[in-house]
C-alpha cells in the first residue's frame, strides 16, 4: 500500500521525537542546561552557547530541530530548560499549555526569496515563482516553522497554488534548504530558495541575493526565548536566560538579525 503524504508528515515528526527521547533516557549528566532551539538559528545560538560556557564554565546542551518537533517533545517529556522558537505560534502553544515561566523577544524572523545573482532579472517577486519552468526549494510546512509560515501565506496569494506546484523539494531546516538548493542548482534543477533573509549571512548563503516578498505578503515573525517551568536546573538556566537577553541579542544583531522590538 503506498505511503500517503499524511503518513509521511507523521513520520517526519515522530522519528526526531523518538531520537530525542532515547537521548534523554540514557543521559546521565543532569548538571547542565538543556536548550531546545529552532534549527534556523543555529549559527548565532551556537556562538552564544560557546561564549556563555567560556565565561561561566556552565555547559549548555543545545538541540537544533524544527520548532514543531521540539514543542511536541517538551509537551510529551518535559525534559528541557529553555526553548527558542522559530515562530510565535509554537511559543504560544507552550504558553497556553502552561510550560513557560517567562519569555522575551530576541529578534525578527523575515522570510524572503533568495536567488543567485544570475537569476536577478528572472525572479523579482512571488509572482515569478509561479512561472512555467521555475523551480525552488522551501522548508517542510509540517516540520519547520518557516515552511508553515510561508505555506500559510501562499494559500492567500492569488497564484499560491501555482507557486506551491513549483516546489522542487522540501528541506527539513534552513541548513538543509541551502544544501539542497546548491546541490540542485548545480544540476540546473532549481532557481531559488525561500529562506530567512539572514541566511545570506551564513557561508552557505552569502552568495545569494535577497528578494523581499511584496508588502501585502510580508511575514515578520518575532523570535522568542522561553525559560521553561520544566527546568531541572532553574538557577543556572535563569542565568543563561538573562545572559541571552543581553549579550545574546548583540550576537544576533552581529549576524544580520533585526533586533529592534518596536519595528
Confidence of residue 214 (pLDDT cuts 50, 70, 90): very high
What DSSP assignment string belongs to 21-89?
A: HHHHHH----SSEEEEEEGGGHHHHHHHHHHHHHHH---EEEEEE-HHHHHHHHHHH---SEEEESSHH
The residues near 240 (Cβ < 8 Å, ≥ 6 apart) are 33, 35, 52, 58, 60, 81, 82
3-state class of 151 per DSSP? helix
Average pLDDT, the chain: 90
The residues near 113 (Cβ < 8 Å, ≥ 6 apart) are 123, 125, 126, 129, 136, 192, 193, 194, 210, 211, 212, 213
What confidence score (pLDDT) does residue 68 get? 86
- What is the per-residue pLDDT across 167-200, written as a single tens digit (0 to 9) for each? 999 999 899 999 999 999 999 999 999 999 999 9
Measure Cα distances from 190 to 93, 119, 135, 172, 198 in Å: 35, 11, 5, 17, 21
Q: Report the first-to-last Cα separation within the chain, whole angstroms.
A: 51
Question: Which pTM value belongs to this model?
Answer: 0.81
- What is the per-residue pLDDT across 104-119, written as a single tens digit (0 to 9) for each? 999 999 999 999 999 9
Confidence of residue 16 (pLDDT cuts 50, 70, 90): low
- What is the per-residue pLDDT across 222-231, written as a single tens digit (0 to 9) for each? 999 999 999 9
- What is the per-residue pLDDT across 31-81, written as a single tens digit (0 to 9) for each? 799 999 998 899 999 999 999 999 999 999 999 988 888 999 999 998 899
- Give Rg (Cα) of the chain: 19
Of the CA atoms within 13 Å of residue 14, those in its CB half-sphere come to 6
Amino acid at each position: 500500500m503506498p505511503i500517503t503524504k499524511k503518513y509521511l508528515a507523521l513520520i517526519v515528526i515522530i522519528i526526531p521525537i523518538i531520537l530525542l527521547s532515547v537521548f534523554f533516557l540514557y543521559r546521565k549528566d543532569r548538571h547542565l542546561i538543556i536548550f531546545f532551539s529552532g534549527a534556523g538559528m543555529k549559527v548565532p545560538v551556537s556562538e552564544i552557547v560557546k561564549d556563555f560556557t567560556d565565561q561561566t564554565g556552565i555547559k549548555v546542551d543545545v538541540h537544533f530541530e524544527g520548532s514543531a518537533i521540539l514543542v511536541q517533545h517538551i509537551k510529551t517529556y518535559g525534559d528541557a530548560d529553555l526553548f527558542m522558537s522559530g515562530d510565535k505560534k509554537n511559543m504560544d502553544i507552550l504558553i497556553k499549555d502552561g510550560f513557560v515561566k517567562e519569555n522575551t523577544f530576541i529578534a525578527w524572523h523575515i522570510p524572503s526569496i533568495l536567488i543567485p545573482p544570475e537569476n536577478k532579472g528572472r525572479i523579482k517577486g512571488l509572482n515569478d515563482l509561479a512561472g512555467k519552468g521555475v523551480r525552488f526549494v522551501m522548508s517542510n510546512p509540517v516540520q519547520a516553522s518557516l515552511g508553515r509560515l510561508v505555506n500559510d501565506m501562499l494559500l492567500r496569494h492569488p497564484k499560491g497554488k501555482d507557486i506551491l506546484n513549483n516546489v522542487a523539494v522540501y528541506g527539513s531546516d534552513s541548513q538543509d534548504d541551502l544544501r539542497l538548493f546548491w546541490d540542485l542548482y548545480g544540476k540546473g534543477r532549481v532557481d531559488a530558495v525561500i529562506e530567512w533573509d539572514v541566511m545570506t549571512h551564513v557561508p552557505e548563503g552569502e552568495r545569494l541575493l535577497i528578494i523581499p516578498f511584496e508588502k501585502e505578503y510580508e511575514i515578520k515573525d518575532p523570535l522568542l526565548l522561553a525559560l521553561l517551568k520544566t527546568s531541572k536546573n532553574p538557577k543556572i538556566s535563569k542565568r543563561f536566560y538573562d545572559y541571552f537577553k543581553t549579550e545574546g541579542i548583540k550576537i544576533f544583531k552581529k549576524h544580520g538579525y533585526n533586533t529592534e522590538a518596536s519595528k
